[in-house]
Amino acid sequence: MNDTIAAISSAGGPIGLIRASGEQAIQAVDTIFRAKNGKRMLDAPGQKLVYGTLHDKNGKMIDCCYAVVFHAPHTYTGESMAELQCHGSTAVLQQALDALFAQGVRQAEAGEFTRRAFLNGKLGLSEAEAVHDLITARTAEAAQNAVAQMMGAVGSPVQQMREELIGMVAHFHAVVDFPDEDIDPILFDDAAALLHRTTSRLYAMAESYERGRILREGVPCVILGRPNAGKSTLLNTLLGRERAIVTDIPGTTRDLIEENVKVGQLLLRVTDTAGLRDTTDPIEQAGIDRAMAEASASALILAVFDGSQPIGDEDMLVLARAAGHRAIAVVNKVDLPQQLDEKLLKKHFLHIVPLSAKTGTGMDKLLSLIPRTIGLGDGAFDGALITNARQAAALARAAERCEAALYAAQSGMTPDAVVMDAEGAIAALGEITGETVTEAVVSRIFSDFCVGK
Ligand code: GDP
């Protein structure tokens, strides 16, 4: 039997939510809550708000609030649960929690409610991981993807593929282990067709992780350019407010400035950098070195050039750094007479956007180009994008083992060879659904959650 846990499940705001789960959850709330209708919470119907007052162990009133009970097993955790909807101050919520603790309830650990839901079979592991994604989503699209995964967008197809492989392996075992029984013979062509289908599906899912991670974490994006090209102005225009210091003194931005910018469906994690130029100032040089390193690690470079000047030596540093990277050339200051010859830029960049960071001209074009350059231009975020590194690794392993089983089936190897690799794929898929995952991995996954979920 599990002990009863409770935690504050809301973050700030005028109303605060306390949740309790476990055998004693309803009993504990019944003891500290007096319903206005005079009835006991022990007798209250499930999922119905009851108004009343909350009291500490000495009977002192803490709050007037709502209580609600949920009867096992039809609850989030699968256990008896109760919730208190209190006024949201920390003082009230902490006293309410203490009143529950006085009834033998203990503080829930990080993610313990969802962990119990998983252990009680209410959620698969990939669905539980999606709960975390949903809570931490930073864009509507990331949330959309996460909620679809919480409803099984990853877990269901993985479970289905796993069951098909288990069916195939069971048949192979039956034929090999009971040669005298009247069992349908192994049809290697059918097995190969199943393995082929499954292999391609698994690779496609594993490969979606690159885009899924960008959706969840945002696109690391660096603004590079020589001093005074207009990098800080561009960052400020992207942000719609003054963040970086804009001056006409070269070398003003010496360190990295990082900001999150929402561009359509994307979150850009933009870093403004020290202008690239030859300098004898060691502090400025350190900033330039960091800019170069940051650019290597970024998914997108916005290379800013001053359109009112001819291309100079310092711009060459930018061209060199952007080579081989996903990059957009921004020809800034189009509001001034233009001196920059775009021919050279065309040799180095697929995308060139003339704009004025100062007036905003051309910004729309830049904003529409960014998602396309990243490869996230279109997309319904229906949960199809894998956003979780653990799941992506397990999918890739499953795909490789499935492909090996396919090779064995096609090349006329013994059934044993097919079975061995197919079983490897089944185990890897079980790590995603939670069937074959170790206790240590489960603990690590839920320790990333916040307390109260
Ligand atoms: P950074 O050193 O590349 O970060 O450049 P800043 O953003 O600090 O800009 C340098 C100077 O260029 C400032 O005086 C800006 O006001 C000016 N500037 C930036 N963008 C534009 C633009 O689009 N048009 C014009 N006319 N001036 C700009």
Predicted local distance difference test score (pLDDT) of residue 328: 95
Place of tokens 């309410």: 96
Query: 405-426 as b/e, with b when 16 or more CB fall inside 10 Å?
Result: bbbbbeeeeebebbbbbbbbbb
For 200, half-sphere exposure in the C-beta direction (CA atoms, 13 angstrom radius) is 5
Q: Where are the chain's structural domains?
A: 5-108, 129-208+386-447, 218-374
pLDDT at 1 over 60: no
Residue 452's CB is within 10 A of a number of other CB atoms, namely: 20
Q: Which fold has domain 5-108?
A: Gyrase A; domain 2 (3.30.1360)
Atom of ligand 1 nearest to the CA of 250: 2
CA of 230 relative to ligand 1 center, distance in Å: 4
CA distance 375 to 209: 12
Residue 179 — very low, low, confident or very high, per pLDDT cuts 50/70/90? confident
Predicted local distance difference test score (pLDDT) of residue 375: 73
Task: Please write the tens of the pLDDT for every residue from 151-174.
Answer: 999 999 999 999 999 999 999 888
Cβ–Cβ under 8 Å, residues 62 and 56: yes
φ/ψ (deg, to 5) at 110? -55, 130
pLDDT at 110 over 80: yes
Residue 448 — very low, low, confident or very high, per pLDDT cuts 50/70/90? confident
In angstroms, the Cα distances linking 278 to 256, 282, 284, 285, 308 are 18, 11, 9, 8, 21
Which pair of tokens denotes residue 60?
């002192």
Residue 89 — very low, low, confident or very high, per pLDDT cuts 50/70/90? very high
Q: Are strands 81-87 and 61-70 parallel, antiparallel or unpaired?
A: antiparallel
Class of 129-208+386-447 per CATH? mainly alpha
Q: Among 226, 309, 358, 361, which is best to mutate for testing ligand 1, by the most ligand atoms less than 8 A from CB?
A: 358
Task: Please write the tens of the pLDDT for every residue from 255-268.
Answer: 567 788 887 777 88
Q: Which fold has domain 218-374?
A: Rossmann fold (3.40.50)
Domains 5-108 and 218-374 share a fold: no
Cβ–Cβ under 8 Å, residues 54 and 65: yes
Q: Which protein residues are within 6 Å of ligand 1, measured from CB?
A: 225, 227-233, 246-248, 252-253, 275, 332-333, 335-336, 356-358
Burial class (CB in 10 A: 0-12, 13-18, 19+), 352: middle
Q: Ligand 1: which residue has its CA nearest to atom 6?
A: 230
Residue 107 — very low, low, confident or very high, per pLDDT cuts 50/70/90? very high
**Which amino acid type is present at position 2?**
N
Task: Please write the tens of the pLDDT for every residue from 199-255.
Answer: 999 999 998 898 888 888 888 888 989 889 999 899 888 887 555 555 555 555 555
Q: Please tell me the least confidently modeled range out of 18-32, 100-114, 165-179.
A: 165-179
CA of 411 relative to ligand 1 center, distance in Å: 65
